[in-house]
């Protein structure tokens, strides 16, 4: 007897899902553990696995179709078996195919928690024409082997790159230099040509939630903004020294390569420890003082951002924070984040420094009462303690606060402590 697969509940706030893509066609053999579809939720596009062997008999919901959680979307059974589709689950009309534009640098926030900008450039692999469709295992193998996924022709459903494609590419050796060096930007537009095709782009579920939650944040939380300049040279020097000693070591011998964002996350945690009043939430009739630092940070994906959470960051070392952040980024890229890993934050960090943006202000990720916005390090003349004008490395950091829960003095104290820590970064190692 055919087994009906229902729309799964993939996030704590999910009430319905949309079939973004079928990775198995009707009539295809399916093994337990195979990814058969990509489901778009209110938080991300996530993979749907089969839990038994058989044949995909029916795609009850077509690509682009939506269904409430718990309603039938597919059937798996034996070849030739008849499928009785429940009356309430009439097949949805497949959405018209549309050309996917190459993703630009994301500037909108993750739906949960909602922030305004990404903290790390963690988008899916892209080519000049758009994202590369590949299984999580294929992406992992390609990354480990240093293979550009855009040079591999996928043999999976809809041209998806799978494990065997990567292994065959390894055996074949490196791709020609010209292919590997293909630019990831569009060709120059000639006079009289449009920069893009005029079209109405359907709003995805994730983008819809982003719009809703950003609007709620800006209209319900009275924002105020503070900014401070910091000397980032000591932090950059410490990072370089640590990476010089540790980056080449294998993980089992303590090897690790720290990013600037790892230091920012840890420094932020230590500043919150010193000024815990910044770690609050507005609850209407009460203000909640959070006892632990559950630190969210943005990870850019194809259609927005995800904000995974480093829990109990105050009890973790720089290395522990870095390793956990790296793991969460990997899960975000491969659509493996769980709802628990994306919820419950008490403070958020957002970073646009890697894009050369010198300063900006994020939109508060409610119910957090504050969000830190990290800009790029800029080389500029500064006046040293001796009154001399010398070359310097300056980083601007902005802070957006919910004035219902935090006053200006608290925000200023927090930034002052953060400045001390970043300018004396050895403090985060003790």
Residue numbers annotated as active site: 403, 407
Please state, in angstroms and rounded to a whole number, the distance separating the CA atoms of residues 261 and 62. 41
Buried b (16+ CB within 10 A) or exposed e, 399-416: bbbbebbbeeebbebbbe
Q: Report DSSP letters for 261-307, one per residue.
A: HHHHHHHHHHHHHH-GGGSEEE-SS-EEE-SS--EEE-EEETTEEE-
CA distances from 185 to 101, 123, 127, 146 (A): 11, 15, 8, 21
**CA neighbor of 329 nearest in space, from 302, 309, 347, 313:** 309
C-beta separation of 306 from 332 below 8 A? yes
Please state, in angstroms and rounded to a whole number, the distance separating the CA atoms of residues 149 and 141. 10
CA distances from 216 to 61, 79, 224, 280 (A): 32, 50, 16, 18
């Amino acid at each position: 007897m055919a087994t009906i697969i229902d729309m799964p509940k993939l996030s704590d706030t999910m009430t319905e899902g949309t079939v973004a893509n079928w990775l198995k066609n009707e009539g295809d053999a399916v093994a337990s553990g195979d990814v058969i579809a990509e489901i778009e939720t209110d938080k991300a596009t996530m993979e749907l696995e089969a839990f038994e062997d058989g044949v995909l008999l029916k795609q009850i919901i077509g690509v682009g179709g939506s269904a409430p959680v718990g309603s039938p979307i597919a059937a798996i059974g034996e070849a030739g078996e008849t499928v009785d589709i429940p009356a309430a689950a009439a097949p949805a009309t497949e959405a018209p195919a549309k050309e996917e534009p190459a993703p630009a640098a994301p500037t909108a926030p993750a739906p949960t928690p909602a922030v305004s900008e990404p903290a790390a450039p963690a988008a899916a692999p892209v080519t000049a024409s758009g994202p590369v469709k590949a299984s999580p295992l294929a992406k992992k193998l390609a990354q480990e082997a240093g293979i550009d996924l855009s040079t591999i022709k996928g043999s999976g459903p809809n041209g998806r790159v799978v494990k065997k494609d990567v292994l065959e590419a390894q055996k074949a050796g490196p791709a020609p230099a010209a292919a590997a060096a293909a630019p990831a930007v569009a060709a120059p537009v000639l006079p009289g040509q449009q920069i893009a095709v005029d079209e109405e782009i359907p709003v995805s579920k994730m983008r819809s939630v982003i719009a809703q939650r950003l609007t709620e944040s800006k209209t319900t939380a009275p924002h105020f903004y503070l900014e401070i300049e910091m000397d980032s040279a000591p932090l950059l020097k410490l990072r370089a020294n640590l990476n010089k000693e540790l980056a080449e070591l294998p993980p089992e011998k303590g090897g690790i390569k720290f990013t600037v964002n790892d230091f920012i996350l840890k420094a932020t945690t230590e500043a919150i420890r010193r000024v815990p009043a910044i770690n609050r939430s507005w609850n209407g009739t009460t203000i909640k003082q959070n006892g632990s630092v559950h630190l969210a940070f943005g990870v850019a994906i194809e259609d927005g951002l995800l904000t995974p959470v480093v829990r109990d960051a105050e009890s973790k070392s720089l290395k522990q924070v870095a390793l956990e952040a790296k793991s969460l980024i990997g899960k975000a890229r491969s659509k493996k984040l769980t709802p628990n890993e994306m919820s419950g934050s008490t403070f958020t960090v957002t970073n646009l420094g890697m894009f050369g943006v010198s300063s900006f202000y994020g939109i508060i990720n409610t119910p957090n009462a504050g969000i830190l916005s990290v800009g790029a390090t800029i080389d500029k003349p500064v006046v040293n303690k001796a009154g001399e004008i010398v070359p310097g490395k300056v980083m601007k950091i902005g802070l957006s606060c919910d004035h219902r829960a935090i006053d200006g003095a608290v925000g200023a104290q927090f930034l002052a402590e953060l400045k001390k820590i970043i300018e004396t970064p050895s403090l985060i190692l003790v």
